Structure 1
Amino acid sequence: MSDAFTTRVLHIASGAQEKVVDLTRDCESFLRETAAGRDGLLNVFVPHATAGIAIIETGAGSDDDLLAALHTLLPADDRWQHRHGSPGHGRDHVLPAFVPPHATLPVVSGRLELGTWQSVCLVDTNVDNPDRQVRLSFLG
């Protein structure tokens, strides 16, 4: 495979509760190994119908605020037509319309170009599937 395009799959154990998992260090580590000081793009993709990728501030309560906002927008109750798994699981299948399953980010001189408080995060509300994959791809 050309070194202009490199990909790696992360295996994330998100657990049995809704959570926001910060992937920023994993992304930076991947770029240190693959970008070799080049400019390009990092694509982060979660191949699951019930999870998404968000660029948000973490550690100051924003991750909990995001989960609370998702509960308001997408309550875990019996209103959903998609009905299997945990109560309200149908909302997990609507999540990617609000938190997309991908993000494409600039890489300059081999470094991820995020704002001061931005982090790359997996958003997982599906408590029935605690094992996730996240594909990192660098094109540069």
Structure 2
Amino acid sequence: MPIINKVIEIPTETGINIYNITPQIKDFLASTQIKNGQVLVFSRHTTTALVINEDEARLLEDIKVFLRKVAPETDSYLHNDLHLRVVPEDEPMNAHSHLMAMMLTTSEIIPVVEGQLGLGTWQSVLFFDLDGPRKRTVFLQVTGE
């Protein structure tokens, strides 16, 4: 059974941002000969996440508001005591982003059926950057026949 890998890059903007990466996954799948199997989508960062949900502007804003309530940037966090640990010079105070990411997930597995993603009508694969701006990467791996 073939296994095909790809890394996609996502340049992100400041703050919490949500990107629909379904088109990139579909393009990757179309570049393979896999007709039936599954595709793994894996976020490679500790302050990012992946979710399958509806890509609707008002819902995405609701999600951002919800995440900010769960882990407010202005709260006090031990991880933000940068002077107490060894960090790169450009290390941000981003404990809130790590906590938000823990509430979400780092990977999704999507069925591939007849060469198409087995997503429902309103489902999209959404990539969350909780600590931008940065250049992020997502690992894709398709397996099947």
**What SS is found at the alignment partner of 2:24?**
helix
Give the secondary structure class of the aligned counterpart of 1:117: coil
Query: Corresponding residue for 1:106?
Result: 111
1:59 to 56, 61, 64: 56
The answer as to 2:131 corresponding to 1:134 is no
Q: Hey, what does 1:94 align to over in structure 2?
A: 99
Q: Is the 8 A contact 2:47 2:97 kept in 1?
A: yes
In structure 1, how many angstroms separate the alpha carbons of the residues matched to 2:64 and 2:50? 13
Q: Is contact 2:41–2:139 with CA below 8 Å preserved after alignment?
A: yes
Asked which structure has the greater CA Rg, the reply is: 2
In the aligned structure 1, how far is the partner of 2:58 from the partner of 2:2?
A: 37
| CA offsets 1:12-66 (integer angstroms, 9 cap, x no match) | 00122320010000011111111x2521111101110110001111134221111
Q: CA RMSD in A?
A: 1.6
Q: CA deviation at 1:105?
A: 0.8
Q: Separation in 1 of the partners of 2:66 and 2:56?
A: 17
Describe the SS at the equivalent of 2:108: strand
Structure 1 counterpart of 2:21:
23
Q: What is residue 74 of structure 1 aligned with on the other side? A: 71
Could you say which residue in structure 1 is the equivalent of 2:10? 12
Runs (4+) off by over 3 Å: 84-87
Shift of 1:96: 2.6
Classify 1:37/1:135 alpha carbon distance in 2 versus 1 (closer, same or farther; 3 Å).
Answer: closer
Aligned to 2:79, what secondary structure does the other structure show?
coil
| Count of residues in Structure 1 that have an aligned counterpart in Structure 2 | 135
- Give the whole-Å Cα distance in 2 for the aligned partners of 1:71 and 1:42: 30
SS at match of 2:56: coil
In 2: Cα distance, 1:97 partner to 1:120 partner: 18
Query: Per-residue CA shift, 1:50-91, capped at 9, x if unaligned?
Result: 10001111134221111111011111113221114445x101
Unmatched segments (≥5 aa) in structure 2: 83-90
Per-residue deviation at 1:131?
A: 0.8
Q: Measured at CA, do residues 37 and 138 of structure 1 come closer, stay the same or move farther in structure 2, by a change above 3 Å?
A: closer
